[in-house]
Structure 1
Amino acid sequence: MTSEFLQIAGAIVLPNVGGIVNARITKNNLENWYRHLKFPSYRPPNWIFGPMWTSLYSGMGYASYLVWRDGGGFGGDAQLPLIAYGAQLALNWAWTPIFFGQHNIFGALIELLALTATSSVCGLLFYKTNKVAGLIFIPYVAWLSFASLLNYDVYKLNRGDKDKKAIEAPTSKKE
């Protein structure tokens, strides 16, 4: 294996690690909390989220490699774009524990809006270093924008009862 292949593989694996960890948090809350929420009619089926996030994480990981390579690594012109990348990745990984772990739909919405803004800035900074890397962020930012709308509507639909259902797991099944 070449050094370049290992660098690309590492860059792709890194964001997926957070996705794998967060998938466990999500899975642990699907039946006991998430399925009891109200959703807008346009919500995608649950099975789409895993492949979608794997694709997006892999793309952003590859984009980070391109910026690192073309921008001179952490000590070169890539430094600011890579800092933005790390910031948006940390925000990305934080959404699941807020939404699924804490059952805090409103807090997750605020966090997701910050993530979308940070990811947009990151994509622009990536574009300045490597156009392909910047363009790879377009589907990611589009998905985050859609996710923000979905998160907002889930919050709106579940904020009745003084946000009780939007924040805490139901204590009894009402179906």
Structure 2
Amino acid sequence: MMRYGRLVLFVIAVLGAGFAIGYLNRPDAWYAALGKPAFNPPNWVFAPVWSIVYLLIAVAGWRVREQGSSSGWRLWLAQMALNFAWSPIFFGLHQPGVALAVIVALLLAIVAFQIAIWKADRISAILFAPYAVWVAFASLLNFEIVRLN
């Protein structure tokens, strides 16, 4: 029972941090004025998608932490740091070029996490698959925003 209590707390912490980052770094007039590709989704799509993704990230992180995988845990922490850095750089500092470098590093960290834990915890690796797809899409959006502006 205690184990699942830790899961709930971990999920709340990850979702809470994600919501805080999103709330503090919302799209503004600068973002609205940027040229965007035709496939850019409406702003309202991002919150529900990220909520689901953060839930998956949290469960995978909790699983790796509970299993005591130090290399998996370090990669999980690295991808979270990159994840949390992207929004302030893009929306707060208005630096889409720097944000592009961060999101590409994030995508690499996500894939490295999946590869590193595949044998020990396939469930966590699979939980990261939608995250990898979403960040790949977000990377393409970021690239196109840099290219168009």
Query: Does the alignment reach a TM-score above 0.5?
Result: yes
The runs of 4+ residues in structure 1 deviating greater than 6 Å are none
Gaps of 5+ in 1: 159-175
Matched, 1:49 2:40: no
Report which stretch shifted further, 119-128 or 146-155: 119-128
Matched, 1:21 2:12: no
Gaps of 5+ in 2: none
Which of residues 39, 60, 81 in structure 2 aligns to 1:63?
60
1:150-169 equivalence runs, <5 A? 150-158=141-149
Superposition deviation, residue 17 in structure 1 = 2.6
Residue of structure 1 in register with 2:82 after alignment: 91
Q: Provide the aligned length of Structure 1 versus Structure 2.
A: 149
Q: Distance in 2 between matches of 1:95 and 1:121?
A: 18
| TM-score, L = length of structure 1 | 0.81
Superposition deviation, residue 104 in structure 1 = 0.1
**Counterpart residue identity of residue 8, structure 1:** L
Root mean square deviation of aligned Cα:
1.2
Superposition deviation, residue 59 in structure 1 = 0.5
Deviation per CA, 1:7-57: give whole Å up to 9, x if none. 111221232232122112332xx2321111111000111111001111111
Q: Is the 8 A contact 2:82 2:102 kept in 1?
A: yes
Q: Distance in 2 between matches of 1:122 and 1:64?
A: 10
Residue of structure 2 in register with 1:119 after alignment: 110
Which of residues 24, 29, 33 in structure 2 aligns to 1:32?
29
Q: Is the 8 A contact 2:86 2:103 kept in 1?
A: yes
Superposition deviation, residue 124 in structure 1 = 1.8
Q: Distance in 1 between matches of 2:117 and 2:51?
A: 20
